[in-house]
Amino acid sequence: MLFSSISFLYYFLPVMAALYVISPGKLKNTSLLFGSLFFYAWGEPGYVWVMLFSIIQGYVFGLLVQRYRGQWAGRLFCVLSVCISLSFLFYFKYADFFIGNFNAAAGTSVPLLRVSLPIGISFYTFQMVSYTIDVSRGEPAQNNIIRLAAYIAMFPQLVAGPIVRYSDISGQLADRKHSLDGAAHGIRRFVIGLAKKILFANQFGELCSVCLALKEQSALSCWLYAVGFTLQVYFDFSGYSDMAIGLGELFGFRFSENFRYPYCSASITEFWRRWHISLGSWFRDYVYIPLGGNRVGRARQLCNILAVWALTGLWHGAAWNFVVWGLLFAALLIAEKIWLLRILEKSRVFSHVYVLFFVTVGFVIFGAGDLPEAVHRLFGMFGAGGIAPASPEALYYLKSFAPALAAGAIGATPAAAGLLKKGSAKKGWNRLLSVAEPVFVAAVLGIVTGYLADGSFNPFLYFRF
């Protein structure tokens, strides 16, 4: 089920919220779990068992790891649990990628498995892995399977993150406070996320579709696609994260931030501290640091960076263009580590242009169906292959989408939030904003309902990861 659907907004959410409110304190996690299982089964009825199995094995191995912590058996149980979790991910997500590449390299024709990818498996697998590893590192295991299942299956963050660490919410699973202020904050956050997805991400998605469908490609249409897709990914994913964080607050949970205006970064190093923060920190804590992190020699450290970013790329999708996308960032991060950061610090303008350029190029690689398509689109952006600089169609769509692109570009910066913050510090403005907030919530819901009633099914980009 999508957050940005009529069935979620006007059927699931009111019923779920009502059930949660009337459930007594001890049963709140249970109602949240069953609601979440229904939410998941709505989109993936055939694969609920995969998630349930993952939860049960995590629960059992978590207890075993705790019991034998510090002994070889504890380490063995931890490795077993991680391997089981990752084997599901490998089977559903990567098996065909490896079989295809093996066939290409060895000239064999091993048949592909052609299994569909369970929604959200990349996210809940990483949460399960982090739980088991955290327990092996000393975090108390969860004795209550309902709580653990509610943590893994919790519908706000189940299908597209953020990747919530068990250690961050273990206390909240046992005891959390519900308040009017928290709920109001969650609602605001949810509504902002909804607007980001419906009003901006879908708009840019439409721009990308028309650009790709143009009969006559031009450098301008290729750039329009690149900029449109870069904005679409941001508004789509950060919008989803906002909705997830907002819904979490509505049910009494506090999830950590996943985006902090990444397109305002002055270096790629900074970009990755602001973009998909929960994924970056997961790879840092569970892959990079265990590999030695910054404590090893320079050559080993650079190899570790390459490995982590190849895996980050592969996490996003089982295709070579995702690996290349990850390695592009690895190369930039290494360059910044060695010498580039010093140069970037000298010019703010250049550093921002540099970040936006490589992030845009990166997302062209990311959004392509395969590597040749990525190369073709990149060449098109620079007029290679004899394509025209512009065409009447591209100029028309530039004109038609210019206000949305401008609004998106401003919306991707903290400008609007800063303005509101300044305004709320002034007494008169604060009064106006106080009245405007409920009106804003109602207006966004009304507009979004109009878009949903008029539109067709439009899934989030990150559902496929």
**Shorter beta-carbon distance to other proteins: residue 108 or 456:** 456
Closest by Cα among 240, 156, 251, 243 to 191: 243
Closest to other proteins by CB, 234 vs 401, is 401
Instruction: Report in angstroms how near the CB of residue 191 gets to other proteins at its nearest.
Output: 8
Q: Catalogue the long-range contacts made by 354-358 (C-beta closer than 8 Å, 24 or more residues apart).
A: 354/267, 355/263, 355/265, 355/266, 355/267, 355/268, 355/270, 355/271, 356/263, 358/268, 358/328, 358/332
Q: How far is the CB of 312 from other proteins (least distance, A)?
A: 31
With a CB cutoff of 8 Å and minimum separation 6, the contacts of 256 are: 162, 164, 165, 168, 277, 278
Output the CA torsion 289→292→294→295 (10° steps).
130
**C-beta atoms surrounding 310 within 10 Å:** 17
CB closer to other proteins out of 175 and 454 = 454
Measure the N-to-C terminal CA separation of the chain; round to a whole number of Å. Answer: 16
CB of 91 to other proteins, least distance (A): 21
Smallest gap from Cβ 198 to other proteins, in A, equals: 9
CB of 377 to other proteins, least distance (A): 21
Active-site residue set:
316
CB of 202 or CB of 312, closer to other proteins: 202
- If the CB atoms of residues 13 and 227 are measured against other proteins, the closer one turns out to be 13
Interacting residue ranges for other proteins, rule: CB under 8 A: 1, 5-7, 9-11, 13-15, 17, 42-43, 45-46, 180-181, 183-185, 187-188, 191, 199, 203, 215, 392-393, 396, 399-404, 407, 431, 434-435, 437-438, 441-442, 445-447, 449-457
